[in-house]
Structure 1
């Protein structure tokens, strides 16, 4: 049994228990066959996007609530081609991370320049950074244990410790999400503006 399907089963059982629903009740309210639901909760099957959305609606949960592995460590990497894929008739999606709705979320396009590693000091307590690499290769993450990423890889790591951004070879480009607890002051040195081009970290 692969891990994404196991995560779906674990989350279905947890969320169904939270809503105090039996498998029969959840199956009836969602329109998902009870045999299908039982298989999913047992870590078997290959759920479609429509099936997951139907279950999520009844469970008052998001799609990510169903497929994210809540057992994942604080710092986690999803390599290109890995992760939880869900498909529909016209769209396939890969879940990279489940963002905390209780944190302020900022999205940046990031260019990490070759030959100029950035050593960032700790941000406020509770700040988390998520980065998906689109082009190039980088070393990124907590300064004591950074990870190397290739195009298509994703990492989430705590940013309330010293951390590093370093292009390996040519310039690298990706998308960075910073999640900050509400009420925490923004560090003025975090983002610098240079003409029309944004330079982060």
Structure 2
């Protein structure tokens, strides 16, 4: 798959070079094998959401900085159901719908599915980052790892994501469908 089809390879390489890190050093810092990182930069790897967040964290960038397509400026942009760059972790599947940079920071908009499996614990994001989750269907327990909140259909939560935080669909129930917005302030 080339960079036009999957922007992760080029974005990852550019962010690594911007940070002045070798493949070996970034892989070590993110807790990955060098071969895994080499495959991702070649566009042949299939990373988990946890892997992408580990790389983003070590590079000091957002997840969208790694997976977003180049900015689109002319006319409407439609992403059909099931299309777009998707990433999957043990529990969360996310499709980036929109990313915008503003004077106050970066805003990322994702369509997410939480699978009723185990809990996904996310590492802290950049200082001041907040996540906003609006549940469309299903029930989930999400938020700061030390004080998660149970949500049902049409519930909304806004919480600090610069601390460890978790996502878990209620076991034995349907997958959760939701919209996730992440606001990362300008540093």
CA distance in structure 2 between the aligned counterparts of 1:101 and 1:24, rounded to whole angstroms: 33
Give the TM-score of the pair, scaled to structure 1.
Answer: 0.48
The residue aligned with 1:12 is: 12
Q: Distance in 1 between matches of 2:30 and 2:106?
A: 31
RMSD (Å) for aligned C-alpha atoms: 2.9
Structure-1 separation of matches of 2:19 and 2:105: 28
Partner of 2:51: 51
Structure 1 runs of 4+ aligned residues shifted over 3 Å read 2-5, 71-75, 103-106
Q: TM-score normalized by structure 2?
A: 0.51
Q: Structure 1 residues 104 and 54, CA, compared in 2 at 3 Å: closer, same or farther? A: closer
CA distance in 1, matches of 2:58, 2:74: 29
Contact 1:5 1:45 in 2 (8 A): no
The 1:39/1:71 distance shift into structure 2, 3 A limit, reads farther
Shift of 1:79: 1.4
Distance 1:4 1:90, change over 3 A: farther
Q: Secondary structure at the match of 1:77?
A: coil
Equivalent residues in 2 for 1:1-201 (5 A)?
1=1, 6-70=6-70, 72-75=72-75, 76-102=77-103
* 8 Å contact kept, 2:99–2:106: no
Q: Is the contact made by 1:83 and 1:96 (CA closer than 8 Å) also made in structure 2?
A: yes
Distance in structure 2 (CA, Å) of the matches to 1:54 and 1:21 = 15
For residue 42 of structure 1, report the CA deviation from its aligned partner.
0.6
Rounded to whole Å, the distance in 2 between the matches of 1:72 and 1:50 is: 27
Aligned residues: 109
Q: For each residue in 1:103-142, what CA deviation from the matched residue of structure 2 results, as whole angstroms up to 9, or x when unmatched? A: 6999xxxxxxxxxxxxxxxxxxxxxxxxxxx9xxxxxxxx
Cα 1:104/1:67, change in 2 over 3 Å: closer
Question: What is the CA-CA distance between 1:3 and the residue it aligns to?
Answer: 5.8
Instruction: Specify every segment of 5 or more residues in structure 1 that has no aligned partner in the other structure, as ranges.
Output: 107-133, 135-174, 178-201
Structure 2: runs of 5+ lacking an equivalent: 108-135, 137-178, 182-187
The structural deviation recorded for 1:6 is 2.8
SS in 2 for 1:99: strand
- The separation in 2 between residues aligned to 1:12 and 1:85, in whole angstroms, is 16
Q: Using the alignment, how far apart are the partners of 1:47 and 1:78 within structure 2?
A: 22
SS of the aligned residue for 2:13 comes to helix
